[in-house]
Amino acid sequence: MEGNIGFLGAGAMGEALIRGLVQGRVVPPERILAYDIRRERLQELQQTYGLQAVTGREELVRKADIIILAVKPQNVKEALAGLEVGKGKLVISIIAGITLAGLATYLGEVPVVRVVPNTPALVGEGMTALAANKFVRPEALEEAMAIFRSVGRVMVLPEEQLNAVTGLSGSGPAYIYMLIEALADGGVRQGLTRPVALELAAQTVLGAARMVLATGEHPGVLKDKVTSPAGTTIAGLAVLEDRGMRGAIIRAVEAATLRAESLSKE
């Protein structure tokens, strides 16, 4: 990848991307720039990854060819007001809830990619969805995808589907953490120690997810392969169906999607 990549904001997700870019050798660290209002944070990232710490927003925008907006939603006005980005640059926003139209009110008619990542990107297992405005060239979109491939999987979707992405993969890790906790609690109730139960639960979820992705088979087919007649698994599944697990998860994704739509309007 050619040119410099600049991070406006250097929180946990910003650092995850920096780490992925450096460890994946997508770009050398000297071509990564960062600015954050916390000077000690910049010094920490500079020492850890060897990137360039810049002194302000204007310097970052001037020197970077790709600008990644990684500030908190409540700080977006302060971060973007008066910022002049040339049309030859690419802006990538991971700011939650800020639409392409909303970003245009600050940045004007420049190429912008809106991104919905999730927190497993912090360990290189993220799921990221991208949507681009009409000014983004195909090769620029490929560059944006390459950045997020360094921390997991990537897909491109219409922007109107990003709220559903937020409800599913954005909020989804929290649902899975609750599932892991519940599985571990079940193990503890049956006499396992907490550390043993937690490791069994977490690895089981990880392995099952990898089976879905690696085989390409429908989850229902994989479920049936584990479920023998009158066996242990079908006994457990009957309880989950009786208690409405499937419907509860569907409703959780729906509720989170509706909340994401509400936040975008706000």
Please report, in range form, the residues annotated as the binding site.
Answer: 8-13, 70-73
pTM for this model (two decimals): 0.90
* 20 shares a domain with 151: yes
Q: Is the domain of 46 the same as that of 144? A: yes
Q: Where are the alpha helices (DSSP H) in the chain?
A: 12-23, 39-49, 57-63, 76-80, 100-107, 138-149, 162-165, 172-189, 194-215, 219-226, 232-242, 245-265
Domain that holds residue 175: 170-265
Q: What is the mean pLDDT of the chain?
A: 94
| Any domain includes 51 | yes
Last residue of a domain, one of 159, 182, 212: 159
Single residue among 109, 130, 159 that ends a domain in this structure: 159
Give percent of the chain with pLDDT exceeding 90.
Answer: 83
CATH assignment of the domain containing 208? 1.10.3730.10
What phi-psi label fits residue 192: left (phi over 0), alpha (psi between -120 and 50 degrees) or beta? beta
212: in domain? yes
Annotated binding site for NADP(+): 8-13, 70-73
The pLDDT value given to residue 81: 84
Do 19 and 143 lie in one domain? The reply is yes
Q: Are residues 133 and 197 in the same domain?
A: no
Tell whether 108 and 214 lie within a shared domain. no
Question: CA 249 from chain center: how many Å?
Answer: 20
Q: Of 159, 186, 215, which marks where a domain is finished? A: 159
Q: What is the pLDDT of residues 23-76, one digit of tens each?
A: 989 999 999 999 988 888 999 999 999 999 998 999 999 999 999 999 988 888
- The C-alpha angle 80, 84, 61, rounded to 5 degrees, equals 80
**Confidence (pLDDT) at 84:** 87
pLDDT digits (tens, 9 = 90+) for 84-134: 888 889 999 999 889 999 999 999 999 999 999 999 999 999 999 999 999
What is the rounded distance in angstroms from the CA atom of residue 66 to the CA atom of residue 74?
A: 23
